[in-house]
Amino acid sequence: MRNTFANAFYEIAKRDPRLFLVVADISPVASAAAFQKEYPERFVNVGVAEQVMVGVAAGLALRGCIPFAYTIATFTIYRPFEQVRVDCCYQNLPVRLVGIGGGVTYSTLGGTHHTQEDIAIMSAVPNMSIIAPCDPAETIAATHACIQVPGPVYLRLGKAGEPDLTSQAPEPFQFGKIRFIKKGRDACIISYGPITKMGVDLAQKFEEATGRSMAVVSAHTLKPLDREGIGSILSSYPLVVILEEHSCVGGLGAQVKQIAWDVRASCKLKAFSLQDKFIHFYGSQRELWAAHGLDEDLILSELENS
Amino acid sequence: MRRNLGKDSDDTFILSKGHGSLAQYVVLEELGVLKTEELDKYCKPGGHLATHPDYGLPGIEASTGSLGHGLGLAVGMALADKVQKKDRAIYVVMSDGELQEGSIWEAMMLAPTLGITRLVGVVDLNDFQSLGQTSKIHPNFYPVLDKVRAFGWEAIEVDGHDASAIYKAVMSGSGRKPFMLIARTTKGKGVTYMENVPIWHYRSPSPIEYQQAIKELESSAA
């Protein structure tokens, strides 16, 4: 995703001189290196100084530019939170805040480098939009889409190695709309970000084990959340499953439950999220998910009995 | 803050110490940018002027009030102007207490690195902040001048109540570095019972105190 984003950014920035890349001491990967070489005046490394990374990005936006502030997710939005809230959101400026390694991607780096609560925090700030693509193709689409958004955008990305999930999707990417990436009749799993891969695998295993079909939906735009699309799923599927690499507090699961109440949904609704606890466990990203209960086999056995 | 709205060539003014907004509002009104009726609705329902200035109002180029934001925004604006080859200066007024925000020093470090030259910072150095004298709260912070210079800026200290000295100092900049004016001021200048008394950072005068203040200010202006 990181390289895919860099390549997509480079292609857009070549044609659009409003784009700037503002980084905080993070090495430019893939085409970001080419961008730095070819357009050095629009590549800014502020050093280890995330407050001014976001402040400068907002200043550029005040002059009509479209800056992408880019570093590891926790440093993109947590360290400079007030610059995000006041400079970007309160002034409603088109700053794109790119968070690499969202969730627990940096699984062995410890809790200082995890963003388990970023969707909740960014969702709570007025004017902010949030996109969390599930695979490289959605990352390209999301990068293009966020150029058009008039206000600030938090682009929550994974890092590397995410497989293709959407090239055969029956519906295209559209900002602000959920998207079926696999059709199904009897159950529907809604996810976002790289953990959507587990959702796709779960759907296949669920179908094999139960003979029931399961749809998979990418809710790539977490804000504005497609309440209508989610409400429609809650009204038409007997079993709806939320799977997310985010705390159970204030993420997609919690928001879908609110929508379910509003639409008086009668379906079974299962939300699988990270726990409201810091993770003091080290291993692969999947092993960290499992440590918080996001284990494919465990979830499958629970769904088989639903 | 712009005299003529919408012109790319105009200079930019950011009041980073946004709590001084009343001074900015009356200047904007004097320049005809803000309507007098707006001043009458200051901090009232239906009005648009708050204790801290909001981006989007005529003449207000950034929302400030949370300290430590203005200089970073200004560096971004100056960078855009440099890349887009627009010749305009950016003026940012900060308070000395505000310099305790780390974000100011992040911006201070970055501006010369980016080759920003059309940026003028002004520090309102009145040696007071909410809880007392700045030089007593952080004694090692003074003098400020050498620290700013150490970060790669040109810097001059002048009497902040002397408009002519301010003008001359700013004009004396070489134009090769960002420029910081350290303006020594007296908090509450011109009103005897307010001068260097920290409570007037917060307090509103009673009708009697108000009359006395106006009388003193008018007599000193005469």
Full domain range(s) for residue A107:
2-156
Same domain as A202, residue A94: no
**Does the beta-carbon distance from B73 to A87 stay under 8 Å?**
yes
Do A147 and A239 fall into the same domain? no
CA distances (Å), origin B80, targets A56, A66, A95, B124: 10, 10, 14, 26
Here the ipTM equals 0.95
Output the CA angle B40-B45-B51, nearest 5 degrees.
Answer: 65
List chain A residues with pLDDT less than 50: none
Q: Do B69 and A41 touch (CB under 8 A)?
A: no
CA distance B150 to chain A (A): 18
Strand partners, B157: B182
pLDDT of residue B221: 78
Number of domains in chain A: 2
Quick check: B7 pLDDT over 70?
no
Domain stop point among A156, A171, A200: A156
Sign of the C-alpha dihedral computed for residues A157, A163, A167 and A171 taken in this order = negative
pLDDT band with cut points at 50, 70 and 90 for residue B6: low
Residue B221 or residue A246, greater confidence? A246
Instruction: Answer yes or no: do A128 and A228 share one domain.
Output: no
Count the Cβ atoms, other than its own, within 10 Å of residue B202: 8
Residue with tokens 């918080």: A292
- Looking at the fold, whether A200 and A144 belong to one and the same domain comes out as no
Which of A156, A190, A210 is the last residue in one of the domains? A156
Contact A49 B75 (CB under 8 A): no
**Is A170 a member of any domain?**
no
Q: Are residues A114 and A218 in the same domain?
A: no
Q: Of B61, B81, B106, which has the smallest distance from its Cβ to A51's Cβ?
A: B106
Question: What's this model's pTM, rounded to 2 decimal places?
Answer: 0.96
Q: Which helix (H) or strand (E) segment is A242 a member of?
A: strand A239-247
Q: What is the mean pLDDT of residues B48-76?
A: 96
Rounded to the nearest angstrom, the minimum Cα separation between B4 and chain A is: 16
Number of H helices, E strands in chain B: 8, 7
Alpha-carbon span B76 to A63, nearest angstrom: 8
Amino acid A191: pLDDT: 98
A contacts of B73 (beta carbons < 8 Å): 55-56, 58-59, 62, 87
DSSP SS3 for B10: coil
A146 with A213, same domain: the answer is no
Chain B neighbours among A 16-75 (CB < 8 Å)?
Answer: 41-42, 44, 46-47, 49, 51-52, 54-65, 67
Cβ of B106 within 8 Å of Cβ of A46? The answer is yes
Domain identity same for A32 and A89: yes
The alpha carbon of residue B189 is apart from the nearest alpha carbon of chain A, in Å, by 31
Q: Which helix (H) or strand (E) holds A241?
A: strand A239-247
Average pLDDT, integer, range B145-162: 98
Q: Are B105 and B151 in contact (CB under 8 A)?
A: yes
CATH of region B66-185, choose from 3.40.50.970, 3.40.1030.10, 1.10.8.60, 3.40.50.300: 3.40.50.970
Tell me, yes or no, whether A37 and A82 share the same domain: yes
Residue B80, min C-alpha distance to chain A (Å): 6
Q: How far is CA B10 from CA A135, A247, B5, in A?
A: 45, 48, 8
Residues A150 and A225 in one domain: no
Q: What is the mean pLDDT of residues B70-85?
A: 97
Residues of chain B with C-beta less than 8 angstroms from the C-beta of A65: 80
Q: What is the CATH number of the domain that holds A236?
A: 3.40.50.920
pLDDT in the model for residue B147: 97
